[in-house]
Homo-oligomer: A and B are copies of this chain.
Amino acid sequence: MARNTTERRSASSKPRVRTSISEGQNFPDVRETSENGDILTADEYFKIVRKSNTRPALWKWRDVERSLGELGKDPIREAERRFCTLVNSDCQELTGATPYCFIGIQLIHPGEVVPAHRHNSMAIYHMLQGRGFSVVEGVKYHWEKGDTLACPAWAYHEHVAEGDEDTIMYVVQDMPMLAAGRMLFWEEPMGQENIRHMVVGTSPSWSVTRTDAP
């Protein structure tokens, strides 16, 4: 093989960037095939591609309130939200209220801040109670009970509860779809160096600033 990449690159006046994984390296791990690459017949495939139907699910507010009551006793942690989430266990691997949709109920005490962060799942916040503001991409949005705020994918957002009442947000995200597709990204706290690909084994945890994070 005549690799002429070195010659071509040295002619460039731009500072050299490392663009090759393979150049000048030994690869102890060479594959002609892969153990996880299955070849199935149509008969075999049609038995597994269909999934079991999911039943409807109903979550009562009194149960959500009880969960929020417990969560509200602890201080809000920096790199994690204080919320509970509604999961239809029939969806199995796709952990949402429906296969691809996350529903969370978030509690913020007056004066508390949900620290700025971003992710490439979109987020929609419907305010069930309280008042305050969110800063999304540098713009301050005031909200009160009944308002809806849509936060686009990968927009920095921070929530601040004001007034005397707890703020309760009804939160919609497409996180389960992105997580199952292995395409979910998270940045928290703010900073290019904190961008993480959310798969097990690559990102140590959701909670980078916690001392007890796994």
Contact = CB atoms under 8 A, between A and B. Distances in A.
Among A33, A48, A83, chain B packs the most CB atoms within 10 A around the CB of A33
Interface string A171-201: 0101110111111110001111101011111
8 contacts: A2-B110, A5-B112, A31-B142, A37-B59, A39-B63, A41-B67, A128-B128, A192-B195
A142 B80 contact: no
This chain's copy number in the assembly = 4
A199 B52 CA distance: 6
A110 to B, nearest CB: 7
A160 B58 CA distance: 16
A121 B101 CA distance: 11
A19 interface: yes
Contacts of A195: 192, 195
Interface string A46-67: 1011111111111111111101
